Amino acid sequence: MPADPAAAGSQTSPSAGAHLVVIGAGIVGACTALAALDRGLRVTLLDPGPPGGEQAASYGNGCWLSPMSVIPPSVPGLWRKVPGFLRDPLGPLAIRWSYLPKVLPWLVAYLRSGATEARVLRTAQALRPLLRDGPELHRALAARAGVPELIRRDGLMYVYPSRAEYEAEALGWRIRRAVGLAWKEVGPEEMRQLQPELDRRYGFGALFEEGGHCTDPGAYVAALVAQAVAEGAALRRVAATGFRIEGGRLRAVATAEGEIAADRAVICAGARSKALAAAAGSRVPLETERGYHAVVLDARTGPRIPVMPSDGKMAITGTRAGLRVSGQVEIAGLEAAPDWRRAGILRDHLLRSFPALPRDLPEEKVSFWMGHRPSMPDGLPCLGPSGATPDVVLAFGHGHVGLVGGPRSGEAAAALAAGTPPPLDLAPYNPRRFT
């Protein structure tokens, strides 16, 4: 039952066994639940969909555990490309005209956040501690859940046609080096040894040996949630709709099936977190970057190390199901129908990148998916207490780094819920930074 308000006073630390409701059973929610159990909290996970199911961003992401993903999507000069984003519905970043009036304030903030190198550097400095050691943290979680085989530490590669194309992205490489990242430059001869089946037009690469990947993100998230349940958490297949807050303290989480008494709550419902955050007193500019993937099922060829070709900006990764290619950013909101031509572009780029793949793939050998990246305009998640009460914690908005950033985000959210020091400085992720 919730703590008595008279006894609680101004304290924010719950007593041992206090009840935490985690809203959302994606990667951040699963990590939060496990970290909260470690702190002695009673945990209930809420999600209307199956953990790791196809409805979740955690299911369809690019599989990369990339500590080097510190460069935000918005960089200097991006504003010049906006007319092209509007004209080309099939470009790597597209904005649907019908959604432009609604998304315009977010888009302006997005462009401003990366308008100078200094701003990009600040974002990278903030992301680095959140993503550091991500593959190792996932390895420990996978072992805890009995699925160690789902996490691999083979490294990750960016590949280019030539050194010149690599050097043309000097700003990103300069900032990565400034925040302490290291990589190995790979020339044509070594490229052939490391990636013998990759198209020979790629003659230069950057290998991040600290990177890793997940071979089945959906199954991995499902296993983490199952482990949380095995350790005492409850899982309820219901959507949260709001909160009952009295005297500045959380009393219950509202759902379509009635209230659930709670002392603390963490909102980690991905792209659908905005309304819940508002209900807890925090108006945040959360938007969905719709992403796509294509999987060539049971592919017999592919990269030895997951790769991201510079001319496609898409991750190509071997998974348990087959060869997955993921990427694309489409700004069109939560409710618009998928444009499956975008997934077809990913498939075609994959076929060009690995010539040994058959060109006449039947429909049943390729699967398409579309999902929603929960994205803040400045490239940083929201991690911190809500505006109405410290009893409700926000933990969403990770954009392109939700998978790799899940463990440390979950630790931070659980620490806030338990009233203990978080594992990193949360100031850069303060939900109030937009107000």
Q: Residue 10: what pLDDT?
A: 34
Residues of the chain falling short of pLDDT 70: 1-16
CATH topology for 5-57+219-284+379-434 is FAD/NAD(P)-binding domain (3.50.50)
- Indicate the CATH number for domain 71-124+151-212+287-375: 3.30.9.10
Distance CA 232, CA 41 (A): 10
- The pLDDT value recorded for residue 81 is 86
What span, in angstroms and rounded, lies between the C-alpha atoms of 243 and 265? 9
pLDDT digits (tens, 9 = 90+) for 326-339: 998 999 999 999 99
Sort 149 into a burial class: Cβ within 10 Å, 0-12 / 13-18 / 19+.
exposed
Q: How far is residue 31's CA from residue 406's CA, in Å, rounded to a whole number?
A: 6
Q: Which amino acid does the sequence have at 335? A: E
Do 266 and 22 meet the contact criterion of CB atoms below 8 Å apart? yes
**Amino acid 15: pLDDT:** 55
**Domain range list for the chain:** 5-57+219-284+379-434, 71-124+151-212+287-375
Task: State the burial class of residue 393 (Cβ atoms within 10 Å of its Cβ: 0-12, 13-18, 19+).
Answer: buried
Specify the pTM: 0.94
Please tell me the predicted confidence (pLDDT) of residue 369. 97
Return the structure tokens found at 180. 């302490």
Q: Is the dihedral of CA 202, 157, 299, 326 positive or negative?
A: negative
